[in-house]
Amino acid sequence: MELLNESKINNNLNFSTRAIHILEDPKENYYKDIVAPINLTSTYLLDDLEVKENQYFYTRYDNQTRNILEYKLAALEDSKFCLTFSSGMSAISTTLLSLVKPNSIIISFDDIYSVTKKIFEQFFIEYNIKVIYFDFSEINSIEEFLNENLNENVSIIYLESPTNPLLKITDIKKIVSISKKLNNNVKIIFDNTFLSPYFYNPLNDGVDVVVHSLTKYINGHSDVIAGAIMTNNQELFYLIKRYRNMLGGALSPFDSYLIIRGLKTLALRMEKHQQNAMILADYLKKHPKVKKVLYPGLKEHKNHEIIKNYAKGFGGVISFELDLDNFKIKKFLSNLKLISNAVSLGGVESLICIPYFSTHKDVKDKEKIGITPNLVRLSVGIEEPQDLIQDLEIALNKC
């Protein structure tokens, strides 16, 4: 993604209109395409001896189809810059490698995606980079913790909210305000995958870089692996882009096309995901075999009011604890007919997994933060909610 004449990006349009129309105006392209074409070339004809600035010359650096996606995503996330990657973890790892300082400290939410933790604990440790974990859902302890731990040696604060898989919520505005006063050089990275740009734009609250797994809600059809970063800082954008070009994590044109197609229905899907999640959360919290339901849309969630202060919605993922042993939980999963026992989330179909044995299997000390063998993560799809309730009811009754 390079600098673009802002007259082509009308951010006064509503969300769905931006998702559909930005850079897909048939009056503005030579062939009058209604839908952005897939540009599959790997290389481009050069006009001169040297490659000129902002010239297409090799698809690992820039590609027309990928750039259209990046401009669309930037407009939806209310950011100036966007880069897309071949996976969510490519986006996260490239950003971390770009911004982390040698021998520095990273402060992270204690409950985050397991593979991000692996980077902290299995990769960065080899380079003398220390990670301090903190439960940022303890809102009243944030200021004291940051005052004690955020010094000039801290290069990154890494956040999710809601977190994966415990759906913890933090006060992002509070963290940004305190952090920038204590260390203006610290970079705050926020994984916005669970809410998507439809429900929340973290850059507007002072976050430095937003990361996404495009695999999830933004694409929404469980047929692409991709990631993205967004920022308003031009210097950070070019730094991360330079690392992406060196490390080779650019997104393919065909996958870019699929995501362009998917994100046009993002608003519709997010509303349905959330509507279904609320209905299922209400059902599950009343079920005798369910001990606890974790969903920030429920008033019982301890930080329900906090998320209402910064986001327009709560997302479509529910976690809940079953009052069953491992044998019965396995039986429960095998008796589900519509909901598939599979990792990942954000697709149109409902997916369920036990993070303890799957996504977070290799996380050390996971039980200390609440990831137990009876914790279930349910990515609620856009099926009719009564069909999903019936599927859960039959499976639970057989346990």
Active-site pick, 44, 58, 60, 205? 60
What's the structural domain count of the chain?
2
191 annotated active-site: yes
Active-site pick, 56, 113, 158, 295? 113
216 with 281, same domain: the answer is: no
Name the domain boundary from 242, 263, 284. 263
At 350-397, the pLDDT tens digits run 999 999 999 999 998 899 999 999 999 999 999 999 999 999 999 999
Q: What is the dihedral of CA 234, 240, 245, 251, to 10 degrees?
A: -90
Report yes or no on 326 lying in a domain: yes
Question: Which among 241, 172, 242 is positioned nearest to 208, based on CA atoms?
Answer: 172
Report yes or no on 290 lying in a domain: yes
60 annotated active-site: yes
> What local confidence, expressed as pLDDT, does residue 313 receive?
99
> What local confidence, expressed as pLDDT, does residue 5 receive?
42
Q: CA of 293: how far to CAs of 96, 165, 286, 287, 339, in Å?
A: 33, 12, 9, 10, 18
- Quote the domain boundaries for residue 294: 267-397
Active-site pick, 110, 191, 208, 255? 191
247 with 317, same domain: the answer is: no
> What local confidence, expressed as pLDDT, does residue 10 receive?
64
Task: Please give the structure tokens belonging to residue 34.
Answer: 């209604």
> What local confidence, expressed as pLDDT, does residue 27 receive?
86
> What local confidence, expressed as pLDDT, does residue 8 receive?
53
| Phi and psi at residue 122, to the nearest 5° | -115, -20
> What local confidence, expressed as pLDDT, does residue 2 receive?
52
At 4-63, the pLDDT tens digits run 444 455 668 999 999 999 999 888 887 799 999 999 999 999 989 899 888 899 999 999
Q: Which residues of the chain have pLDDT under 70?
A: 1-11
Report yes or no on 1 lying in a domain: no
- Write out 24-38 in H/E/C secondary structure: CCHHHCCCCCCCCCC
289 with 221, same domain: the answer is: no
Active-site pick, 216, 241, 272, 366? 216
The answer to whether residues 218 and 77 touch, using CB atoms and an 8 Å cutoff, is no
